[in-house]
Amino acid sequence: MTLSQPVSFPVPADGVYFAESMHLKDYEASLHRDPFHKIVFIQRGRMELQSATGRKSLTVMGPERTLLAVPAGVKHRLLDHEPSVILVLGLGDRFLRRDRDIWEIWQRLLVHPVSGRMMEGGFAGWWRRAVLEQTLQGPGYAVTVRAMAMQVL
């Protein structure tokens, strides 16, 4: 296995950032912490999320179409068991806490990983539209991208 540095991207404290990453089989990210919360949606493939908080460690095996939540500051890494495509949503802490209902949804995601089967259909295309909106940065793009992030939650 090749140990790799995960891609870094900017997540404003009061905003969001959509990304997509493609991994070869046996991809193994180095153990790291992000200063933002994130959702990892396994669009294709099978991967393992290893995380550690204090003395507790957790391994979650995510089959295709699994949505995993990783809180800010938690040491973690992804290991691919087959070629994978993942969609990543970085979430700023102030963004999640600005609305009590959004924070409660986030807290539930941390405890109960969600099957993305309910997101079948155009979900990946919709996610890529969010990536395009933030890349082109047209008028009102930040509002559009934040609204799309709320729909993911």
Contact status, residue 22 vs residue 82, Cβ threshold 8 Å = no
Which pLDDT score is estimated for 91?
96
Helix 123-136 × helix 141-152 angle, to 10°: 150
Ordered per-residue pLDDT tens for the chain, 153 residues: 455 667 778 899 999 999 988 887 777 888 889 999 999 888 888 888 888 765 555 556 556 677 888 999 999 988 888 888 888 999 999 999 999 999 999 998 888 766 666 555 567 777 888 889 999 999 988 998 998 888 887
Which pLDDT score is estimated for 118?
56
Residue 88 has φ and ψ, to the nearest 5°, of -120, 135
Which pLDDT score is estimated for 74?
92
Which pLDDT score is estimated for 72?
95
Give 133's DSSP letter.
H
Closest CA to 65 of 104, 144, 120, 128: 120
